């Protein structure tokens, strides 16, 4: 009976993992497309997305019952809770500004690869620092992610080098 649940958990995890990757990729592409609408101003775009997020998530807090659970916990009157929430909000805001800038000056694909690399490295650090256990297949996935990211970075570097050499040759300054 537990084996069936474990198989479903693996399938469920895979499905949500794929949906998460697709959502993040589509978000990066949509941010890149919307940046010209706000004249490339990442701060302005951040304010718009923050307000839209508040308008969409605020009702969800009530519909899911999260609000009544938060009130019942008694934590809403704690200054430490509000300090932690405020710090989390500021850090989240700054991370989103950095994310938007990365998309603005790079590409959505580069941003997605960077995010995957970051997640894989965080997992490696959790293994090294906290001794988290991972399966063989997890190690294979982490390895593939890191190798793929390295190959992507190498290809982007070589692409840039070829473009610089082409410009130098067309200017007459480079080797022929």
Quickly state the pLDDT bin for 5 (edges 50, 70, 90): low
CB-based contacts of 127: which residues, under 8 Å, 6+ apart?
133, 134
Average pLDDT, the chain: 87
Quickly state the pLDDT bin for 3 (edges 50, 70, 90): low
More confident call, 2 vs 62: 62
Entry pTM? 0.62
Average pLDDT over residues 126-132: 91
Characterise 109 by phi-psi region: left (phi > 0), alpha (psi -120 to 50), beta (else).
Answer: alpha
Characterise 107 by phi-psi region: left (phi > 0), alpha (psi -120 to 50), beta (else).
Answer: beta
Is the per-residue pLDDT at 151 higher than 70? yes
């Amino acid at each position: 009976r537990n084996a069936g649940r474990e198989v479903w958990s693996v399938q469920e995890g895979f499905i949500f993992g794929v949906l998460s990757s697709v959502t993040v990729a589509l978000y990066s592409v949509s941010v890149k497309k919307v940046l010209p609408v706000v004249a490339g101003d990442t701060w302005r775009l951040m304010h718009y997305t923050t307000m839209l997020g508040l308008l969409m998530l605020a009702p969800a807090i009530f519909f899911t019952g999260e609000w009544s659970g938060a009130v019942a916990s008694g934590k809403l009157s704690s200054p430490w809770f509000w300090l932690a929430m405020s710090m989390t909000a500021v850090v989240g805001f700054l991370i989103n500004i950095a994310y938007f800038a990365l998309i603005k000056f790079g590409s959505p694909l580069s941003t997605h690869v960077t995010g995957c690399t970051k997640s894989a490295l965080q997992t490696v650090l959790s293994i090294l620092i906290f001794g988290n256990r991972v399966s063989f297949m997890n190690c294979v996935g982490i390895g593939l992610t890191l190798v793929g990211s390295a190959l992507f970075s190498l290809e982007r570097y070589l692409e840039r080098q070829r473009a610089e050499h082409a410009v130098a040759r067309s200017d007459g300054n480079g080797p022929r």
